[in-house]
Amino acid sequence: MGTIIKNIDVITCNDSDDVITNTNLGIKDGYIEFVGAEQKELDKFSANKIIDGEGSLAVPGFVNSHTHSGMTLLRNFANDLALEEWLFKNVFPMEEKLSPRDVYWGSLLGIAEMIRTGTTTFADMYLYMEQVAQAVMETGIRANLCRSPLKDGNDSVDDHIRCFDYFREWNNHADGRIKVYVEVHSVYLFDEISLKKSAQIAKELKTGIHIHILETLGEREESIKKYGMSPAQICLKTGVFDVPVIGAHCIHLSPDDMDIIKEKKINVAHNPTSNLKLGSGIARINEMLEAGINVSLGTDGAASNNNLNMLEEMHLAALIHKGVHGDPLLLKAKQVLKMATSNGAKALGFEGEIGMIKEGMKADIILINTDKAHLCPLNDPVSAMVYSVQGSDVETVIIDGKIVMEKGELKTIDEEKVKYKVRQIAKRVLS
């Protein structure tokens, strides 16, 4: 038995950028069975759930390519600070107070927020990643999770073993919804030996690496003092870039760094809101796209954004690059939407599985209610997604063929309980 969505307009995000009006979607066993309006498809399809899509727009679920879901616990804390002061003097000391169960509840809240605003897949890097994995498994969302082979910046055999154990326990777990990468937090928290060991572990596990890189000018300058080379150059030297990489930020790139990113096919996760809020800078996304670099979008954590709304990231990304360069043709709406969908799927290792609405792909689909004053008239649906749609317009969310939110009601998360738990944790930690 499956699900049919009838009378729906669809933004496919496929290679042809097709937008199909008044069609039907068939979902079976977690996959998109058909995209078509012909009655014969409906007649032969056995469905136990029929959704009337009239007045709605179907879009591939968003892929948040870089976040820290448990950092919802520190939302609206330590604002209006540069990254170094924010991180080392405020965030890290508070994180020392967090327990594994705290991170579990914070992750559940982050996942609830992401689902509500249309995210169906995310890449996460944080503390107590076993708890994050548990939250992912329970809620039905899809994720790329990473585990560090270091603890508190210190290298040990035990932590390497725990990294291997985490991979073996969680990679391809939850019906294949979880992929596991190796965490390399940054070149400023790791030394050269640790960078090499992390790269070796990723190679041995045949997996990728998730890293913060070239986020601030200070990071670049410190790397040159510490290693005699830029963060991109030391990652190249140590083998970090010899595996698939999610490179978060990539703001302060020299021409040589840009060449390295292109040559090693690094997947850049652009986080415009966080980068602006922390005063880190604006990544040269237009140059990266012109160079053929895969660029996706991320929210970063709720402590530096201060939300996990991918629609806001799309809106801001489309605007700031036009304004900074004085060119309204930069980052067109269809490019930005692909950054949030198919480009993100590629970055997180789910290419060919998600990020498009077409037959044979996993059924990760969101339905947007277009019967809103700010969406009337809709005219160009793709432009509307980037410039007009709000998080509250996301009405139904389907992940792996399962409905996890229907008409605004979360099906896999007790949101009131989660909010209560998080308020209690925040009260304790911040007191």
Query: Distance (Å, rounded) from C-alpha 388 to C-alpha 380?
Result: 11
pLDDT of residue 151: 64
Give the pTM.
0.97
Q: What is the pLDDT of residue 162?
A: 87
CA distances for 77 relative to 235, 291, 416, angstroms: 32, 38, 22
Q: Above 70 in pLDDT, residue 155?
A: no
pLDDT of residue 46: 87
Question: Does 388 have pLDDT greater than 60?
Answer: yes
Alpha-carbon distance of 126 to 147, in angstroms, equals 8
Pair of tokens at residue 405: 């939110």
- As assigned by CATH, the class of the 62-347 domain is alpha beta
Round to whole Å and give the CA distance between 297 and 303.
17
- Residue 91 CA to residue 76 CA, distance in Å, equals 11
CA dist list (Å): 256 to 186, 242, 269, 375, 426? 19, 17, 19, 44, 43
DSSP letter assigned to residue 400: T
Nearest to 191 by CA among 222, 159, 146: 222
- Count CB-CB contacts under 10 A for residue 297: 30
Q: Which pLDDT value is given to residue 43?
A: 82
Q: Which helix (H) or strand (E) holds 139?
A: helix 129-139
- Count CB neighbours of 55 within 10 A: 16
Is 198 within 8 Å of 190 (Cβ atoms)? yes
Q: What is the pLDDT of residue 158?
A: 67
* H-run or E-run covering 99: none
* DSSP code at position 422: H
CATH architecture of 2-60+361-410: Roll (2.30)
208-264 pLDDT, tens per residue? 999 999 999 999 999 999 999 999 999 999 999 999 999 999 999 999 999 999 999
Q: Please state the rounded mean pLDDT for residues 160-171.
A: 93
Angle at 170 between CA 348 and CA 185, to 5 degrees: 55
Q: Which amino acid is at 254?
A: S
**What pLDDT score was predicted for residue 44?**
82
Please provide the average confidence, as pLDDT, over all residues in the chain. Answer: 96
Q: What is the pLDDT of residue 249?
A: 99
Q: Which H helix or E strand runs over 144?
A: strand 142-147
Q: Give the pLDDT of residue 40.
A: 76
Q: Mean pLDDT lowest for which of 43-52, 280-289, 309-318?
A: 43-52
DSSP conformation class of 69: G
Q: Which helix (H) or strand (E) holds 27?
A: strand 19-28
Q: Taking residues 26-53, report their average pLDDT.
A: 90
- pLDDT at 159 > cutoff 90: no
Mean pLDDT of 294-321: 98
Reported as a pLDDT band with limits 50, 70 and 90, residue 134 is: very high
Residue 146 and residue 182 in contact, taking contact as beta carbons nearer than 8 Å: yes
Domain ranges of the chain: 2-60+361-410, 62-347
Per-residue pLDDT reduced to its tens digit, 52-96 = 999 999 999 999 999 999 999 999 999 999 888 999 999 999 999
Question: Which pLDDT value is given to residue 154?
Answer: 53
Are 73 and 127 in contact by the 8 Å Cβ rule? The answer is: no
Q: What is the DSSP code string of 178-243? A: EEEEEEE--TTTS-HHHHHHHHHHHHHHT--EEEEES-SHHHHHHHHHHHSS-HHHHHHHHTGGGS
Q: What is the pLDDT of residue 103?
A: 99
Cis omega (within 30 of 0) on the bond before 306?
Answer: yes
Q: Is residue 123 within 8 Å of 144, Cβ to Cβ?
A: yes
Q: Is 128 left (phi over 0), alpha (psi -120 to 50) or beta?
A: left
**Cβ distance 425 to 107 under 8 Å?**
no
pLDDT tens per residue, range 369-381: 999 999 999 999 9
Res 380: pLDDT: 98
Spatial CA neighbour of 287 closest among 324, 312, 314: 324
β-bridge partners, 180: 145
Determine how many CB atoms are found less than 10 A away from the CB of residue 133: 24
What is the pLDDT averaged over residues 294-307?
98
CA distance 275 to 250: 10
Paired tokens of 363? 């059924």
